[in-house]
Amino acid sequence: MKYLPISPQLFTKNRSKFVKQMQPKSIAVFNSNDVFSTGADSTLPFEQHRNIFYLSGVDQEESILVIFPSATKTEHREVLFVKETNDHIAVWEGAKLSKSQATATSGIQTVYWLKEFDSVFPTLMAEATSFYINNNDHYRQAVEMETRDDRFLKMIKSTYPSVELVPNFPIMEAIRGVKEPEEITLIQMACDITEKGFRRVLGFVKPGVMEYEIEAEFAHEFIKNRSKGFAYTPIIGSGYNACVLHYIENNQVCKDGDMLLMDVGAEYANYSSDMTRTIPVNGRFDARQKAVYQAVLNVKNEATKLLVPGTIWEDYHVEVGKMMTSELLGLGLIDKADVQNEDPKWPAYKKYFMHGTSHHMGLDTHDFGALKTPMTANMVFTVEPGIYIPDEKMGIRLENDVVIQAEGPPLNLMQHIPIEVDEIETLMQSS
């Protein structure tokens, strides 16, 4: 891995939080993700399943974590199974984790080789009355393929038909949404790498560069600083492309007079950052661009102040809508009649700002986290309002990542990333 070692205390704490919410005599199993083929003998780079990483820190394929706090044998209350290395694997792929390394990484004392799973697991299931399914009920989930956990669940249903099946998502949603200090440090590191990339790009962008060249500049700086690369597929859209919310082609020329929207973030140790900045391709905002930009910045700044303990996610978005309505009225994009006659289900401001303002962030860019209960300290949210005006071929979005504090305003993890008009113009023109 490119990232520096993480203290196993983090993963020990995370497992403890999970165990506290488990039913009596229940067992939970977490599988690594599959390695996906692209055809012939090629595969995509391995990406660890975020749940097993969150609970163990193990970042290796074909690993299995078993948590069974009611096990008769204390050594079986948390067990890690890892792929055994051999000389052939060591030569072709590099050595895998040894048992002692797996323990040092995870804090789990009982480590077996994966080949021992079929003999050990039935002895554990003989004592269990319920089984936690490693399911994904995230409100934005879009899983279209059978996962390793799906196949494992089929085996559980056929082999242990009497065991009660319980989804683990409610537990994972609750505990992953509130970050430990070590996690906030890792997210901050991802944000700091993103800052390095953005400052690099400010000195690179000019009329005539291609969007993909800008993507390459970010990638260079990210990997140079111990990141695997982008936390999500980067959006780098100039001119009209900035009005396409999930524009990822990044293959057009950046023209003089256009605004350039960059929604990019580095990952670090599987933790995400999520930044959006919009800059003038030629290094200077014209009057209209500055007015729209400042309107978005105003909404972002005021919305951020609402992210405090006790805030309800749905109510928060209603309040942000009111802020955006005021700014759009000031820009002349909507008028009072538009507001008076608006459909409550699709307010007038939605014509120019059609997406949400904030989402949980962490191991996933759109991370697990409670949305129907009041916000609490140490939740990490994005704040990302935008105004999109296709007729003017201009889209402006600004986004920071913030941590809710027990008292006072949220901590801005991107406070050092340039965002003010004057600072951006100065940095672009001095390069």
Reported as a single tens digit per residue, the pLDDT across 121-155 is 999 999 999 999 998 888 888 777 899 999 999 99
Q: What is the pTM of this model?
A: 0.96
The pLDDT tens digits of the residues spanning 302-318 come to 999 999 999 999 999 99
For 181-429, CATH number out of 3.90.230.10, 3.30.70.260, 1.10.8.60, 3.40.50.460 equals 3.90.230.10
Task: Report how far residue 124's alpha carbon sits from residue 119's, in angstroms, rounded to the nearest whole number.
Answer: 10
Those residues whose C-beta lies under 8 Å from the C-beta of residue 223, and which sit 6 or more positions away, are: 2, 229
What stretch(es) of the chain map to CATH 3.40.350.10? 8-176
Are the C-beta atoms of residues 8 and 57 closer than 8 Å to each other? Answer: yes
As a whole number of Å, the CA-based R_g of the chain is 24
Q: 247 pLDDT band (50/70/90 cuts)?
A: very high
pLDDT for 340 beyond 80: yes
Q: 66 pLDDT band (50/70/90 cuts)?
A: very high
Helix (H) or strand (E) holding 267: strand 267-268
Among candidates 176, 198, 292, which has minimal Cα distance to 243?
Answer: 292
Percent pLDDT > 90 in the chain is 91
Stretch 270-286: mean pLDDT: 98
What stretch(es) of the chain map to CATH 3.90.230.10? 181-429
- Structure tokens that stand for 131 in this block: 């089984």
The pLDDT tens digits of the residues spanning 161-176 come to 999 999 999 999 999 9
The pLDDT tens digits of the residues spanning 18-30 come to 999 999 999 999 9
What CATH number has the domain spanning 8-176? Answer: 3.40.350.10
Stretch 334-356: mean pLDDT: 96
